[in-house]
Structure 1
Amino acid sequence: MKFRNYIVSAGLGLALAATSCKKVLDVTPEYALDGSQIFTSLTDYEYSLTGTYSLLRQIGYYGNGATVTGAWSALPDMMADDLVQTNEDFGNFGRLTNYTFTPTDNSLSTAWTAAYSVITQANITLRGIDQYQSANAQKVNRIKGQALALRAMVHFDLLRYWGSDFERNSTGLGVPYVTEVNAFAKPARLSVKETYDRVFADLTTAETLLANVDISINSASSKANIDLNAVRALLARVYLYSKNYGQAEAYATQVITAIPLATAANFANIWKDGSQAEVIFALVYSNVSEGNPNTNVHTASLNRNGYRPTVNFTNLFADKTADVRYSAFVASRSTGSGAAIITDPASTITRKIVNKYIGKGTSADNVVNWKVLRTGEMYLIRAEARAMQQGKEVMALADLNSLRAARISNYTAVNLSGQALMDAILTERRKELFAEGHRWFDLKRTTRTITRTDNTGAFAGLQSALASTSKVWMFPVPQGEIDANPNIRNQQSAGW
């Protein structure tokens, strides 16, 4: 196949120009910087949508590089309290994990740029597609619905780092919401409320469109695209953050009904890509050159353990043998090339690694799909949402016990209420979603302090606590964006 360059613009002042999908798209003609040319067939739009998904794998978004880590894969756990930097790490991410980064930090600008490049590609996919609606309504629905969902998901991901808070009607600073292809646009930051308004508008429109499509988007063996279930899962997630608990519960319920939890016997296979059980949406990785998520945590082929599970995290598992998650998530491994990866919780090897992303099957190359959405999260969303609603504690407890029963052999149901129930749900969330890119955001949205008591070795000087009032929770807008975009110049995050 002959690949053609796709020259697009970012729509923000920071150099988000020249996003390229050379490896994915075969479109003619080449597109000029001003984006004046429009696709001439729905096949072109299909290719563009594929390019949008491909950009999620780039370094800075989910993908890892030598000096930049995946902002929405490894980083949220590296910056929190479930992973700790070791003396095997090269120190490239210490500014982030020790909270000493500044607006000029390359990791921040790369994440910002990566996110808006996905958004730009989604907007290219959306531009002009309605001209085909009358003749090919269901096909247009399928393409347009996915592009809208991707645009909403990425803007929400930006809000998770750069938003001042997560209150639904907050007038605090959100993020620029880009909906057009314009190389010279310099949008200002919206408020948190306005950002939510547009995220929900895109997702609810996507939900309507994806309910009426021409062909199935995913299959039983592949969950590589956003379908109706994935949109509803995203809505459940965003509604939980915005504290609309009734809607979070309703959408999580729809997904749980459609996609049940994996059996305990099959759970470990999810992380080896041997099973699609309870996977709702996963980003596909197929080779080592794609910047696979979490290589900066444990590089399996080199046996380099940059960030290990904290003792505080591993101690959350009261019975490491009975809980199928422990051996799926954590392993023991001696130093040295070719050392065996031991999943037996009884191992006396004290060097612990993240086992979740070692590789497909028996491979140890970190080439494994990134699970963006799965049913385990939906149970925890519904449990938390129910616990926060009057008269629904019993149902919340049932969700907690159901999830635990699916993960822990011979589990005995507990009877909790009030704050004890909420604490248990949040602890279960920490265990279930370990190293899946949630911990930092969960701490931020519940305004909790980070406390680190497991800072040993060469990096014992890591900051041991982070107050809920710290400016660090709201990332600074990259300095390059501030310099290039006059409309955002006076909207730098507080304290930066």
Structure 2
Amino acid sequence: MLSLQSCSDFLEQEPGTQTSIDELLKNKTGVLQALTGLYSEVDGNVRPEIYSVYADLQGGNIKFTPIATGSLKGQITTPSLIEQAYSFNDVAISSNYKSFYDSSYDIINQANLILEYTPDLTDATIEEKNQIQAQALAIRAYTHFLLSLVYGQDYKYTADASHLGVVYSTESIKSGIQYPIRKTMAETYDLIIADLKNAIDNYSGTTVLAGPEYSFFNQKNTKALLARVYLQKGDWANAYEVANDVITNSGVVLTSKESLISEWVKPDLPISEILLEFTPRKDGEGNVSSSMSQTFGYTTDVSFQKYAASNDLIDLYENTDLRKQLFLVKPLFTLVNGVQTYVDYSFTRKYQDNAGYVAFRLSEMYLIRAEAALETNRADLAMADINIIRARANASLLTNTANLKENIFLERRKELCFEGFLFFDIARMHKDVSRNDGCMATVCSLTYPSLKFVLPIPTFNTNLNPNLQQNDSY
């Protein structure tokens, strides 16, 4: 129950004083305050390294940088925050990802509270209430979707998706303590899709929160999420239709070849093709307290973060590929077999300065449309979409449709690196994990299928809810 009062932006006004839920959410001002706080909670769940490195780290796009200063200078160690999960050996009782699991359901609970109180507002218009509810529905669906990726096997792990998904919560715990069971993955996706369709139908276009449109859920980026869900499900016809809708009707266009690099490296604003970015909040003096650079940033040769690109990723790019310029290559003091030397490390330029968390951008929609076209026997359309992305990057164009599925996988890996896709793509395509450059895990490869493609439900939660079934092998 304490999760109801955990967010300072939501219910707690100052230390030691809490505003009751009924009091806070009785009018539009309170509900909008709650919705603003909810976005901060979502950002605080996906932007820190626990989640933001997960898919790229597990899939092989990331290696670790050496310690910059002090007596251990030059040594490379596995960050303790992710050490167990990195070796595919997370432990339920001390899970590296307990905070992600707990925060996710806290977010869902807060979204449910907003959904429960908004219809009764007397000082908001119907359009405002619809807009608030649409955003809360999108956040609820998005958070359940992320949980399903981390804690459930891919949709086609079983032929009918009858394997375990996640607990899908549609009521706040204010309604009473419940002990729900996990839905099947088929049921989980049905509920995610229903929430997203409901949200899309409810958006009124009314502005309810101050800030740039791309920093909140809206109809076009909710459609982008729906396209991603259909892709993950393998519902190719709907994936194609919705991705095509976003490409054709969103009003967002691909960043040009000429401005690709400059758009990514802007210090404050996101790339122009952004559909949704969880934007860092600034204080009254314009300072940002936290951003993606705290995970991937490089400042000087003695001030840099723990995560750099592996050569497994870097070696995929052709020398002419502009995306190869999206890496800062820096020689850092490193101990190699006890010998002091300098080794080049590649830091992504996507997340320097005040970078926010990129949730959705238009390039992904082209790659979804390409894969969906291939899976519906339209290889020529698939190749055309891949070539749009490759031409923009100044990479060589595909000239035939041989090995197109592998080309799509590799193009997604290159284009969407550090945006949270690789490991989930590997699972979705039933491929094996193969990590080489810089791998320090006790297990560097994983053959599909494996029970270790998912994390354990934290023991605290399975103890709390006797109906919450643990993942096999944990």
Shift of the 185–37 alpha-carbon distance from structure 1 to 2, 3 Å rule, reads: farther
**Shift of residue 244 of structure 1?**
0.6
| 2:224 maps to 1:233 | yes
Q: Confirm or deny that 1:49 pairs with 2:35.
A: yes
Residues 16 and 473 of structure 1, relative CA distance in 2, 3 Å threshold = farther
CA shift digits 1:158-197 (9 cap, x unpaired): 0001113313941110111111111522222111111111
TM-score normalised to structure 2 length: 0.86
Deviations 1:4-44 (A, max 9, x none): xxxxx4xxxxx7453213389879x9444xx5667221222
Choose from 367, 373, 381 the match for 2:368: 381
Residue 110 of structure 1, CA deviation: 0.6
**Partners of 1:125 and 1:435 in 2: CA distance:** 32
- In structure 2, the partner of 1:224 is 215
In 1, distance between residues paired with 2:414 and 2:60? 12
Q: Which runs of 5+ in 2 are unaligned?
A: 68-75, 334-341
Contact 2:430 2:448 in 1 (8 A): yes
**Cα distance, 1:101 vs structure 2:** 1.5
Q: Quote the Cα distance in structure 2 between the aligned partners of 1:354 and 1:16.
A: 35
User: Could you tell me which residue of structure 1 aligns to residue 205 of structure 2?
Assistant: 213
Q: Is structure 2 residue 154 aligned with structure 1 residue 165?
A: yes
Q: 1:25 to 1:205 in 2, by over 3 A?
A: farther
Q: Identify the residue that residue 317 of structure 2 maps to in structure 1.
A: 317
Q: Which of 370, 374, 399 is matched with 1:415 structurally?
A: 399
Which residue does 2:448 correspond to in 1? 468
- C-alpha change, 1:374 and 1:416, in structure 2 (3 Å) is same
1:446 to 429, 441, 445: 429
SS at 1:99 equivalent: coil
Q: Distance in 2 between matches of 1:39 and 1:134?
A: 12
Partner of 1:332: 329
Amino acid in the other structure paired with 2:349: N
Q: Which has a greater percent of strand?
A: 2
Corresponding residue for 1:94? Answer: 83
CA spacing shift, 1:24–1:350, aligned 2, 3 Å: farther
Distance 2:46 2:289 in 1: 10
1:217–1:226 contact (8 Å) kept in structure 2: no
Residues paired across the two proteins, number: 441
Q: Distance in 2 between matches of 1:76 and 1:425?
A: 17
Percent of residue pairs identical: 24
Q: 2:110 is matched with which residue?
A: 121
Alpha-carbon contact 1:266-1:277 (below 8 Å) kept: no
1:189 partner SS: coil
Q: Which residue of 2 aligns with 1:62?
A: 46
Give 1:222 deviation, angstroms.
4.8
1:258-297 superposed matches below 5 A = 258=250, 259-268=252-261, 269-272=263-266, 273-274=268-269, 276-286=271-281, 291-293=290-292, 295-297=294-296
Contact 1:165 1:172 (8 Å CA) reproduced = no
What TM-score results when the alignment is normalised by the length of structure 1?
0.82
Q: Does 1:193 align with 2:186?
A: yes
Counterpart residue type for residue 494 of structure 1: D
Structure 1 partner of 2:71: none
> 1:436 pairs with 419, 423, 436, which one?
419
1 or 2, which has the higher helix percentage?
2
Report the Cα distance in structure 2 between the residues aligned to 1:299 and 1:124, rounded to whole angstroms: 40
In structure 2, relative to structure 1, the CA distance for the partners of 1:434 and 1:133 (3 Å cut) is: farther
- Secondary structure at 2:96 match in 1: helix
Distance change in 2, residues 1:26/1:246 (3 Å): farther
Contact 2:270–2:356 (Cα < 8 Å) also in 1 = no
Q: Is the 8 A contact 2:26 2:121 kept in 1?
A: no
- Does the 8 Å contact 1:223/1:276 carry over to 2? no
C-alpha distance in structure 2 between counterparts of 1:127 and 1:279, whole Å: 31
2:143 to 128, 142, 154: 154
Q: Within 1, Cα distance between the matches of 2:416 and 2:233?
A: 20
Q: 1:413 to 1:22 in 2, by over 3 A?
A: closer
Q: Does 2:97 match 1:104?
A: no
Asked if structure 1 preserves the Cα contact closer than 8 Å seen for 2:280 and 2:356, the reply is yes
Q: Distance in 1 between matches of 2:137 and 2:10?
A: 23
Structure 2 residue 196 is the aligned partner of structure 1 residue 203 = yes
Deviations along 1:95-117, whole A, 9 cap, x unmatched?
22122211123422111011111
Cα distance in 1, alignment partners of residues 355 and 32 from structure 2: 25
Alpha-carbon separation, structure 2, partners of 1:187 and 1:427: 39
Q: Which of 238, 248, 251 is matched with 2:242 structurally?
A: 251
Q: Deviation of residue 332 (structure 1)? A: 1.0
In 2, Cα distance between the equivalents of 1:217 and 1:279? 18
Q: 1:216 to 1:136 in 2, by over 3 A?
A: closer
How has the CA–CA distance of structure 1 residues 300 and 443 changed in structure 2, closer, same or farther, with 3 Å as cutoff? farther
Compared with structure 1, are the counterparts of its residues 90 and 290 closer, same or farther at alpha carbon in structure 2 (3 Å cutoff)? farther
